[in-house]
Amino acid sequence: MHPRLRALAALRLTDPEQKVAATRALFAQLGDEPLSLQPVRTSGDDTGVPGRPERPLRVSAMDVGKRSPFTPEGRAALIHSICHIEFNAINLALDAAWRFDGMPEDFYREWLCVADEEAQHFTLLHAHLQEMGHRYGDFTGHDGLWSMCEKTKDDIVARMALVPRTLEARGLDATPLIQAKLRRVNTPDAHAACAILDIILRDEVGHVAIGNRWYRWLCERDGLDPISHYRVLYRRHEAPRLKAPFNLEARAQAGFTDEELQALSQG
Ligand SMILES: [Fe+2]
Ligand SMILES: [Fe+2]
């Protein structure tokens, strides 16, 4: 089966462990043979996309409870929320690899690599959550990441602009703040969580870089100005406001230009 159709099959799986296994096997078996660049999408393919378990119950971002990391329950809820982001991130990477016909081969390979890394992140966090006596699904989760995928499903430029280089990039800003709190908690489980977040932060710089690279490639192909077109997309799809403090170092590593970093601090 074409790797992009395997990505669709993995995207439809509802069981997290099965999705992780299928995603990891897909990337491991990708090999060096050229991928056929024939279109793979047909209408009606969106049935069952994305596959996700019945739990966590999905709620709006406003209804997700407060998570003080200073209690064991609060820390479990915090880890669960990041685990939920990683589960969604597997789906969004598989979706990028499957949905958009007509891109160069590297585009598909890079998104399948991202999916593999998201599957690793989910696995690390889920194991940690289980050590804390909980499982994925024990708390609620919100749907911000996938709903942006939905809104941008017909526009690959908007998808690259708003999912990896907006929503995933917010993770670059948020992770050091979460780590600082966990360090203050100063328990073995909090330190273990910090170490997992180090791995995630390192990999996420790469994911945002992939978003930046393809966003620029698409802007060039379509004759769009990356900065002014970003503003158009940001408003059109009501992307969440970007909030300081920004992790400027990680963002620069992920390929944001000086001009983009300056625009960020001007709001
Ligand atoms: Fe991740
Ligand atoms: Fe990511």
Per residue in 43-82, pLDDT (tens digit) is 778 999 999 999 998 887 766 666 788 999 999 999 999 9
Distance CA(63)–CA(189), nearest Å, equals 26
Q: Provide the pLDDT confidence category of residue 29 given band limits of 50, 70 and 90.
A: very high
Q: Which residue range(s) make up the domain with 108?
A: 3-41+49-265
| Residue 141 bridge partners (DSSP) | 58
Q: Provide the pLDDT confidence category of residue 33 given band limits of 50, 70 and 90.
A: confident
Distance CA(257)–CA(56), nearest Å, equals 37
User: How far, in Å, from the CA of 62 to the mean position of ligand 2?
Assistant: 23
CATH number at residue 124: 1.20.1260
User: How far, in Å, from the CA of 121 to the mean position of ligand 1?
Assistant: 5
Per residue in 138-181, pLDDT (tens digit) is 999 988 889 999 999 999 999 999 999 999 999 999 999 999 99
Q: Which residues surround ligand 1, an ion (CB under 5 A)?
A: 86, 89, 118, 121
Distance CA(33)–CA(43), nearest Å, equals 28
User: How far, in Å, from the CA of 69 to the mean position of ligand 2?
Assistant: 23
Number of C-beta neighbours around residue 104 at 10 A: 12
Domain count, the chain: 1
User: How far, in Å, from the CA of 28 to the mean position of ligand 2?
Assistant: 18
Structure tokens at 2: 């074409």
Ligand whose nearest atom lies closest to the CA of 120: 1
Ligand whose nearest atom lies closest to the CA of 82: 1
Average pLDDT, the chain: 94
Q: CB under 8 Å to 32, separation ≥6 — which residues?
A: none
User: How far, in Å, from the CA of 20 to the mean position of ligand 2?
Assistant: 14
Per residue in 93-130, pLDDT (tens digit) is 999 999 999 999 999 999 999 999 999 999 999 999 99
HSE at residue 74, side-chain half, CA atoms within 13 A, is 11
Phi, psi of 26 (to 5 degrees): -60, -45
The full DSSP string for 151-170 is HTTT-HHHHHHHIIIIIIHH
Distance CA(32)–CA(21), nearest Å, equals 21
pTM of the model: 0.96
Ligand whose nearest atom lies closest to the CA of 121: 1
